[in-house]
Structures are given as C-alpha cells and as structure tokens.
Structure 1
Amino acid sequence: MSGVATGRADKGGVTAIVLAGSRGPEDPVAAAAGVSHKALAPVAGVPMLVRVLETLGAVPRIGHTLVLIEKPDLVLADPAFAHLLAGGAVTVLPAAESPSLSVLAALDHAGPDTSFPFLVTTADHPLLTTAMVDHFWTNLPSGADAAVALARSETIRAAYPESRRTYLRFRGGAYSGCNLFAFRTPRSRSVVTFWRQVERDRKRPWRMIRQLGPLTLLAFALGRLRLDDALAALGRRTGTVLAAVDLPFADAAVDVDRPADLTLAEAILRRRSGG
C-alpha cells in the first residue's frame, strides 16, 4: 500500500507506538530546524525520530513499532530511516488529527485484543534510553491495565535546575510526565477514549482534574490529593486499574518542545558520549 510500510519482524511481545505528528509550520522546533515536522529535526545531527526508533529497536521486549506521522513518505523515502525499515520491524502509518486518535488508529491497525500490550511514546523524546523503557516496564504493577511514567520534580531539578517543566502537584510530591505510557489490556482502550476529552488540557491540570469530579478537584486545589487517589478516580471513570511508575531518570522528562529544549538535549547527548 502506498505510504505505508508493512511487515513484521517481532522479537518480543510488546508493540510500541511512536506519535510523530506535526503541530504545523508554527512549531518552534520545526521552524528552527527548517523541517516540516518536529520529529525530523536533527538532535546532534540525527533526526529525533531516528533516535527514538533506534532505542526502541534495542529493547528485547519490543517486537514491533508503529510510527504515526501525517505523511508516511517523509519517513519511507528518507535514507536516514532505511536501516530501521529494512528489517520489517517498523510500520509507518498516517497520523490522525490528535495524539489520542492516532493511538486509537494504531490499536485498530494492530488488530484484535490479542495484540496487547502496547508501549506509547513520542518522537520528540530523543533522550529516551533502553534503561528508561526497561525500568518503566519491569516496574509496572501486575494488576494495572494502563500506566504512565512520571519523574519527581526533585529528580529533575537536581539535574537541570534551570529547565522549564510542567508539573502536576499532588500531596507528597510534584511530577512531570515522561512521554511513556503502557496499555496492557483491552480495557485500557477506554483510557485512550477518555484521553480524547482532556488532551487539549495537557498543560492545564485544573481542567484535567475537574474531569474526575468536584471532590477530587477540591482536594487537588487544597493540595491534599494524592497521586494514587487521582489514579483511582480516573480508573473508576474509565473502568480500569491505573498506575504510575516513578522514573529515577531526570532525562526522561526532557522532551523537545522548544528550541531551548533542543539545546539542552544536544548538551546531554554530548555529555553521554563524552564529547
């Protein structure tokens, strides 16, 4: 089929979904890099999406990866991705109009309920490592239908005190998202459906918490809402058991949303390589 890479070369039981959709020509990172999609912006000379796919390809538990981007040919025709596509372990699909709809499209493409579990991440996560993925997956509670990876504010600020992050503040700590999600059972599909209602409020936690009811909102406003209680309320709303995994990696919370993030990511990669 034109515009879609097909084929499977599974080596593990988890399917990865990489969201590589564009925010349009106004995206500051894409504009600064002179590319149409932020996912294609080079970080230390390598497109962000390539870095993410190479990391996922090195995780034994991941058997296949689905990439969601508006124009699949941007990946299929780019020589930078040739080594990733050659083995058949990567499929490129057209992105939908929002991240949640893209995830639903990927779930539908993967087939029946037996396709679970899934790991979801984003293309603007060039600092992703196999250690982050392994820590997240191996620390998932056994009974959870879905889970999110978070990093504590003190973990991030100890490493990058001047980095701007968005924090969700709960009783007992503040957390930043790490762009890693697990959808382990067919029931977790309802979480993606709920996500459609709140994805526009990703950086406005009040509106997100309001979806969970007035008492939960009041507890959040007073600084008394615990993370576990928020997850339990969301679980009741979606008919699932939800969990959060605390990642001890400050780099896991550094995605590339602004040119300043790109500068930071390149500095971190130079440090990792000893440059």
Structure 2
Amino acid sequence: MEAIVLAGGKADDPLALKFGVASKTLVPYRGRPLVEYTLEALAQAGLEVILVGPPAPLNPPPKVFLPDHGSLVANLEAGLQAAENEKVLVATGDMPFLSGEAVRWVLEHAPQAGFVYTIIARPTIEQRFPKMRRTYARIREGSFTGGNIVLIDKKLFYTALPLLKRALELRKKPLALAQMIGFGTLLKVLLGQADMAGLEAKVSQIIGVPAKALITPYAEVGVDIDKEEDLQWLG
C-alpha cells in the first residue's frame, strides 16, 4: 500500500519563519525535521511514501517526491494522481510521535469505506499528553478530536474533490459552510446531540462517498505541531 504525506506549506507560516524553513513540516524537533518522524513510522508499517512538499534531504527518503502545489487539496490531488494503488493512506507531515504500530493498527482495523477518518477520544489524548491543547467535538458517544491519518479509495474520492475545493474557498465564511453541512446537523453538533452513525451518513451524503470514522486508541495519531506553543509543551 502507498501513503501520501502532505508536507507542504507556506514559508510565511509563523513556525516556518521562526526556524527559517520552507514549511512547518521541516521545523527541527530533537535534531530531525518533523516530517521524518511521519516518514519513519510509515516505513516501519511497510508503506511506500509519496511526499508532497518542498524539496529537502530526508531520512528515510520517500519513494516519490512531488513539489508543493500551493494548497492542501491541490497537494492531495497531486498525490492521488501519482499513486498506483486504488487504496491509499494519507497523513500529515507534522506528527512527531507517530509510530509504525499505530499506523499498522489503523490499516488492520479500518472499516470498508471510500473515506475512513481517524478520530481520537479526549481521554486517550489527555492520558498520554496532558498538556496538549486540542479542539474536541462532543457527540453522544463522547468527545473526540480529529486524527491526522485518513484512508481513501482513490477512484471514489475523485468525486469529492470539487466539494473539498469549494469548502476550502468558503473556509472564512461560516454561514456558507454551515449551509453545506446543513443547519440541523450543525445545531446537533453544537448541542452535543449528534451521533456517530448520523454524522457518517451525513458526510457520505455530502461528499458522495461512503464515509466511516475509526476511533483510534493511539493518541499520537491526533497530535501534531501547528504553532510554537506546541513545541514548548513538548519540551
């Protein structure tokens, strides 16, 4: 199986600027660029890597190196076009604690769906990383944060790309985004009254691809580095 690592970003990102690198995924942590921890975990899980991001000497090196295409969706699309297999794993390049064990667990337990999204329960994060600040959504099954690994059926997922591009265009227009989701569903989420099965059905309907969430017992799948304070609590 192949993995696409999204390692792009802008050089004017505050974290990238502070360290003088082309992308925050190249910020050094414990003597290595952040993205190398993701690459190492994927290699341990036996995956061949397509990396999309600024050029840099990395260890372990990816099988395929693609230039940054300027946006998350464009980078994902480029990675999908380069992938040879129909099923691909997609990961961000800023997970310093990701392990091969966690990646293998996701692969072994993923349900059959065109789009599988990892989520992590709040107690799982707080038990291992008590100082980590994450955004959580409360549903009937508990409070969860989004993971940084998804599994995609390439053929099916192409139908969802136009919608993702549209969502990216509307990212600073909350009302327009709410219309895409549906005000009823949004209200349920805000009130903590939504349930996982209902949300999976709604997302499947919106993107036109069968979608499933995967509750993941590995906190490291939900821990990434976005800003300087994240590096500070890591120590």
Which of 9, 19, 22 is the matching residue for 2:6?
19
SS of equivalent residue, structure 2 residue 66: strand
For structure 2, list consecutive stretches of 5 or more residues without a partner in the other structure. Answer: none
Partner of 2:28: 42
Amino acid at match of 1:40: L
TM-score between the two structures when normalised by the length of structure 2: 0.88
CA distance in 2 between partners of 1:248 and 1:264 (Å): 22
Partner of 1:84: 60
Which of 171, 186, 205 is the matching residue for 1:236?
205
SS of equivalent residue, structure 2 residue 3: strand
Q: Cα gap change, 1:200/1:180 in structure 2, threshold over 3 Å: closer, same or farther?
A: farther
Question: After superposition, what is the alpha-carbon deviation per residue over 1:139-186, rounded to whole angstroms, capped at 9, x for unaligned?
Answer: 1113x1111111111211233333211122222222111210100351
TM-superposed deviation, 1:243: 0.8
**1:154-173 matched pairs, under 5 angstroms:** 154-173=123-142
Q: Does 1:95 align with 2:79?
A: no
TM-superposed deviation, 1:205: 8.7
Contact 1:179–1:253 (Cα < 8 Å) also in 2: yes
TM-superposed deviation, 1:241: 1.2
TM-superposed deviation, 1:32: 3.0
Question: After superposition, what is the alpha-carbon deviation per residue over 1:218-267, rounded to whole angstroms, capped at 9, x for unaligned?
Answer: 322332111221121110122221111111122322100112212344x5
From the CA coordinates, give the structure whose radius of gyration is larger.
1
For structure 1, list consecutive stretches of 5 or more residues without a partner in the other structure. Answer: 1-13, 268-275
| Identity value in percent | 28
SS of equivalent residue, structure 1 residue 84: coil
Amino acid at match of 2:42: L
SS of equivalent residue, structure 1 residue 21: coil
CA distance in 1 between partners of 2:65 and 2:207 (Å): 29
SS of equivalent residue, structure 1 residue 182: strand
Which deviates further from its counterpart, 131-140 or 187-196?
A: 187-196
Q: Does 1:258 align with 2:231?
A: no
Contact 1:15–1:116 (Cα < 8 Å) also in 2: no
Amino acid at match of 2:2: T
Quote the RMSD (CA, aligned, Å): 2.5
Partner of 1:106: 79
SS of equivalent residue, structure 1 residue 125: coil
CA distance in 2 between partners of 1:199 and 1:245 (Å): 24
SS of equivalent residue, structure 1 residue 216: helix
Contact 1:29–1:256 (Cα < 8 Å) also in 2: no
Which of 120, 140, 148 is the matching residue for 2:90?
120
Partner of 1:6: none
How many residues in Structure 1 have an aligned counterpart in Structure 2? 235
Contact 1:166–1:203 (Cα < 8 Å) also in 2: no
CA distance in 2 between partners of 1:207 and 1:59 (Å): 40
TM-superposed deviation, 1:20: 0.8
TM-score between the two structures when normalised by the length of structure 1: 0.77
Moved over 3 A (4+): 199-210
SS of equivalent residue, structure 1 residue 16: strand
Q: Does 1:198 align with 2:167?
A: yes
